[in-house]
Structure 1
Amino acid sequence: MSDSQAVKGSQLSPLEEDQAMVTTGYSFKRWTFPPTSGFRSVAGCLGHRLAPLILQLLSFIILAGLLLAVINQGSKLLGSQSQSEQELYQELTQLKTAMGSKLLGSQNQSEQELYQELTQLKVALDRLCRPCPWDWTSFQENCYFFSKSQRNWKNSIKACLDMEAQLVVIETEEEQSFLQQTSKNRGQTWMGLSDLNEEATWKWVNGLPLLHSFHKYWNKGEPNNADEEDCAEFTGNGWNDAKCDNRNFWICKKSSSICSSSD
């Protein structure tokens, strides 16, 4: 069998021929085709193989374009949002500062006004005439301080002197009644009376002797000078002599202030 007959007996399709040429490395000169039929065969083969690739490429390009457009628009929106947030933050900060300044100014103004009012009130109180100092009690043109602490008799005298007063000296029956009633609810309370200088001779801290008419204020059986009791105290409904080292409450006395008519 001749070569031409072998070729005719084993004639291949165009696709198989193309594959055979690529595989065997034969040139086109090995095979002869009519010009028109060969071109159409190759174009059809290429079109069949490249069509999916072209569609994929076009899809990729479109998707890439859409992605770039989305990213660009997102950047614009993000920048706009950030700018809006910054502007809003600045506006809120300015508003807060303005309100704070107003409130601070109002607060300072209120404090200043309050301070001025308190100052004026203090001046008015200082000019106000009081017959007795604060925490003192006024009675019949005298001022009395009733202690909240306890001391012995001599230290009670010193405490009154420190307040420019003296341990109470009783001068009238009304004063005695007032002091006795006030001291009754407090307990033992010193008065400025003792017989330290001479036994049974009772004298006040101002050196004046105890009037005979006042002896009726001693409790029954007192003074009895039991165990060297030389200082007088208010206790119960009357007076009692007690040891001067005992710790009692105490009462200071001084004359009340005289207010002038201009005050």
Structure 2
Amino acid sequence: VRMQPLGPPGCLGHGHTFVLQLLGLTLFAGLLVALLVQVSKVPSSQEQEQELAKQEKVYQELTQLKAGVDRLCRPCPWDLTFFQGHCYFFSKSQRNWHDSATACQEEGAQLVVINSAEEQSFLQLTTKKRGHTWMGLSDLNKEATWHWVDGSPLSLRFMKYWNPTEPNNLGQEDCAEFDGDGWNDAKCDISKFWVCKKSALSCSHEQ
């Protein structure tokens, strides 16, 4: 029995070509989709404008915040300590008494002059943690006659703050320091810590 051909000659070849064309179209479609995905990741001009608007808003808010912080009144610079209307600088390095006084003057302050028992307690407690610290008191002009750097004499009510048996002028000790729980006279050319004092800024609602 002779088998009849299923189709005209060459039909199988055409089917093979069709499959290749279909495969090519599929690959092209895949590449097109991938390209569209990449393009979609690039923000449009409208999206870019929205992003810039957001950034501008954040910048304006930060500017307003900074202006508000600037208006806040801080009575003392950051490296100074505020106490009862004054600013105090506690040195981290050591100098002799004269150089310590000069360092304070260069900052618009003076080697500390004590005016109250509360101030004395505050300074004594703070300096005790640090060690020997110069104050603005000396008897350089006249032995045993103590004056502050602003020219005012040492009040009798402050005499109780000298340590026992001090001041003793042992070896020409003409400058006063915080020493432990009280005051001591020491040689002015010895390097010690020091304390500067100046008036604090006055904060008002107008600032």
Normalised to the residue count of structure 2, the TM-score between the two structures is 0.78
Larger RCO of the pair (alpha carbons < 8 Å, separation 6+): 2
Rounded to whole Å, the distance in 1 between the matches of 2:99 and 2:57 is 46
Q: Which moved more, 1:224-233 or 1:181-190?
A: 224-233
In structure 2, what is the equivalent of residue 42 of structure 1?
A: none
Match of residue 156, structure 2, among 212, 215, 234: 212
Match of residue 30, structure 2, among 85, 92, 96: 85
Aligned length in residues: 199
In structure 2, what is the equivalent of residue 115 of structure 1?
A: 59
Once the two structures are TM-superposed, the CA of residue 109 in structure 1 deviates from its matched residue by 4.6
Rounded to whole Å, the distance in 1 between the matches of 2:179 and 2:107 is 25
TM alignment of 1:236-255, pairs within 5 A: 236-255=180-199
Aligned residue identity for 2:38: T
The question of 1:200 aligning with 2:200 is answered no
The alignment partner of 1:89 has SS state of helix
Match of residue 41, structure 2, among 85, 90, 96: 96
Rounded to whole Å, the distance in 2 between the matches of 1:241 and 1:99 is 78
Once the two structures are TM-superposed, the CA of residue 170 in structure 1 deviates from its matched residue by 0.7
Match of residue 93, structure 2, among 144, 149, 152: 149
* Cα gap change, 1:103 to 1:139, in 2 (>3 Å): same
- Identity fraction in percent: 54
Normalised to the residue count of structure 1, the TM-score between the two structures is 0.63
Instruction: Spell out, residue by residue over 1:68-126, the C-alpha distance to the aligned partner (whole angstroms, 9 max, x if none).
Output: 753x34542342133122211221112211289848954x5554334323322222232
* Cα gap change, 1:104 to 1:132, in 2 (>3 Å): same
The structure with the larger Rg is 1
Match of residue 122, structure 2, among 178, 198, 212: 178
Listed as ranges, the gaps of 5+ residues in structure 2 are: 1-8
The question of 1:259 aligning with 2:185 is answered no
* Cα gap change, 1:97 to 1:133, in 2 (>3 Å): same
* Cα gap change, 1:122 to 1:94, in 2 (>3 Å): same
Rounded to whole Å, the distance in 1 between the matches of 2:191 and 2:53 is 53
In structure 2, what is the equivalent of residue 50 of structure 1?
A: none
